[in-house]
Amino acid sequence: MTAGRRVLVGRIVGLYGVQGWVKLESWTEPRTQIFRYQPWLLDMAPGDTREIAGISGRAQGKGLVAHLPGVDDRDAAAALIGRDIWVDRECLPPPGEGEYYWVDLEGLEVIDTSGRVLGKVSHLFATGANDVVVVDGVDGRERLIPFVQGVYVHAVDLAGGRMVVDWDPEF
């Protein structure tokens, strides 16, 4: 199910010094965990993905800095600013009981508790209160369902490709 899937874990956001170091924004928890997930995959252009292993880095002030092998001057580093940092899903540790990586939920069929198909999970996003599942409905409607297990989300069957929700199809 996870083979060939990639997970967005951060972005290169700036330069640090003159020896090719870059500043990072990390979406891992804790943020320094980004250095444990390698190799990184950087989309350089459509159809051109650069795989980089052996990245070193550290916390620096309120941010993170990293050195990528083969990027040894400021000009080479500047060409990477704005690049998203992806890793293969297989590089991540298995989630805990009742936990899921968003990428694993994308594409699941969503059905309500009465067995009616609502659509497929398009993507998820975070709010201050909880994550939200965006469902592309079979009726052409988009539904936003709070990912609150036991309240709205009753079951997630990754192997079966299905999520069961307690949600009014008219909402």
CATH number at residue 113: 2.30.30.240
* pLDDT for position 4: 77
Domain of residue 17 covers: 6-91
End position of a domain, from candidates 66, 91, 116: 91
In a domain, residue 47? The reply is yes
CATH number at residue 38: 2.40.30.60
Residues 129, 81 share a domain: no
Q: Is the predicted pLDDT of residue 152 greater than 80, yes or no? A: yes
Lowest mean pLDDT among 13-17, 124-128, 154-158: 124-128
Whether the ω angle into residue 69 lies within 30 degrees of 0, i.e. cis, is no
φ, ψ (nearest 5 deg) of residue 18: -115, 0
Lowest mean pLDDT among 44-48, 53-57, 94-98, 130-134: 44-48
Q: How confident is the model at residue 128 (pLDDT cuts 50, 70, 90)?
A: confident
Total structural domains within the chain: 2
How large is the average pLDDT for residues 59-73?
Answer: 96
